[in-house]
Amino acid sequence: MTSPAPLRVLVVDDSAFARKVLRKVLSDAEGLEVVGTARDGLDALERVVEFKPDVITLDLVMPALDGLGLLKALAGMPDAPRVVVVSSADTDSELAVAALQAGAVDLVHKPTALATERLYELGAELVEKVRVAGRAMPRYLEAAEREASVRAARSGTGASPKLLAVGTSTGGPQALTRLLSALPRDFPAPVVLALHIPAGYTEAVAKRLDSQSALEVVEARDGLELVPGRAVLAKAGMHLKLERRGALDLVRLDRHPLGTPHHPSVDVLFQSVAAGWGEHAVALVLTGMGEDGLVGARAVRAAGGVVLTESESSCVVYGMPRVVDEAGLSQGSAPLQSLVPLLERFIP
């Protein structure tokens, strides 16, 4: 049986040392081929035309044309490579979040300039995210979304929903931007969000989402009250749990790993929602790699709540929604542009 062709990777970084290390790490990985390197965005555009890579690893702070400039240039190419950002949260977290919203598939946290020898330590994570990016859907999804239909099992929950919980991973910053920017200011339920992203980036994600949404979007902090009109984003590196205390609904941050591979975990959030809100909860699973959210979705359904999913046509990676769909747990599915009308069927 013929082996699939290796993914063609272009490494873009203004540091010669970083280019050398990243090339070595990726070249040693099975199924990947580094076809070239570039020292800035202008150099990268020439290499994209010359080598036609499937994936680019992208530094953001570069001379001539920076990472955001390169992403904007790639947006005009019908067969543009997918992009994995390699970023330092200490210096460019806001740029990294902007890049994710502009179409980058994923993000790898790079050590600071004072710890460049630690670049080798991110090898396994980088290789995995490059492989995922190579399988990701292109960013040009408008036609597919127009053709996709909304699937809903029923038009009401039988109970008045009091909370919307959202879980996502790869492609999540783009999906959350489109979802939250479409929700009205008077959306009647508090919103809680769990996104897989490295520690150090969620404050910047929350600030950008807040600037683009009619809702107030904040990074989670212990004891924060849940109220309609507010969306709370889980803090990376911690689990987000919810607590009902009398008439107050509060956020709790849990630093214990609980045996989960992701911090925050969508499963942990959804299980907390199921326990406290039961039939008054709506859980929404957006684009993402893996199975996080499956156990939690099962808990929400068992408690009488509603589970919804993003449809395959608009997912960057149809992993997390797929496992929920295939388990028969999803009661409604829609592409990103139709998710708000779908939500309004369950949260009137």
Residues with catalytic function: 169, 196, 292
Say if CB 181 and CB 213 are below 8 A apart: yes
Contacts of 91 (CB under 8 A, 6+ apart): 61, 112
Structure-token pair, residue 295: 């156990």
Alpha-carbon distance of 94 to 203, in angstroms, equals 9
Say if CB 233 and CB 193 are below 8 A apart: yes
31: left (phi over 0), alpha (psi -120 to 50) or beta: left
Structure-token pair, residue 137: 């859907």
Smallest CA-to-CA distance from 232 within 252, 261, 254 is with 252
